[in-house]
């Protein structure tokens, strides 16, 4: 399995463990996450592109991996994802640019499976 997929799997396992110990909190968090990302005024693809950009500026490898995967599933193209990444670079500067390598790794894994 690839590094990005491993990252997602590790966080999902951690979330499952937290769900056992903090069931109400995790249930509410998952519900909130689902409500935010479902279609509304913005479509899911747009929301996932925003999530990629904020994942880069937050420097969250897991978030990058999961939202690249979800953006692809929502119909985003590689070019759209990379353009969203450049907006993150604008907002986050050089440090954000280094996290575009994580976006590229996720794209390579998910598009070449």
pLDDT (tens, 9 = 90+) of the chain, 113 residues, equals: 688 888 889 989 999 999 999 999 999 999 999 999 999 999 999 999 999 999 999 999 999 999 999 999 999 999 999 999 999 999 988 888 898 999 999 999 999 98
Are residues 36 and 47 in contact, defined by beta-carbon separation less than 8 angstroms?
yes
Tell me the per-residue pLDDT of 9-38, one tens digit each, with 9 for 90 and over: 998 999 999 999 999 999 999 999 999 999
User: Number of helices (H) and strands (E), helices first, in the chain?
Assistant: 6, 0
Domain of residue 56, residue span: 3-34+42-111
Angle between helices 44-58 and 78-98 in degrees, nearest 10: 20
What is the sign, positive or negative, of the torsion defined by CA atoms of 76, 82, 85, 90? Answer: negative
Q: Which pLDDT value is given to residue 1? A: 67
For residues 106 and 91, give the distance between their C-alpha atoms in angstroms, rounded to a whole number. 21
Looking at the 3D structure of the chain, how many domains does it have? 1
Query: The domain spanning residue 85 has which CATH number?
Result: 1.20.1290.10
For residues 37 and 47, give the distance between their C-alpha atoms in angstroms, rounded to a whole number. 6
């Amino acid at each position: 399995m690839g590094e990005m997929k491993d990252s997602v799997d590790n966080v999902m396992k951690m979330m499952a463990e937290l769900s056992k110990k903090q069931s109400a909190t995790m249930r509410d968090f998952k519900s909130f996450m689902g409500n935010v990302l479902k279609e509304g005024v913005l479509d899911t693809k747009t929301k996932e592109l925003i999530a990629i950009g904020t994942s880069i500026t937050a420097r969250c490898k897991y978030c990058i991996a999961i939202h690249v995967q979800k953006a692809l599933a929502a119909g985003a193209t590689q070019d759209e994802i990379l353009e969203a990444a450049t907006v993150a670079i604008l907002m986050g500067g050089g440090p954000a640019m280094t996290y575009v390598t994580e976006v590229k790794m996720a794209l390579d894994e998910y598009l070449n499976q």
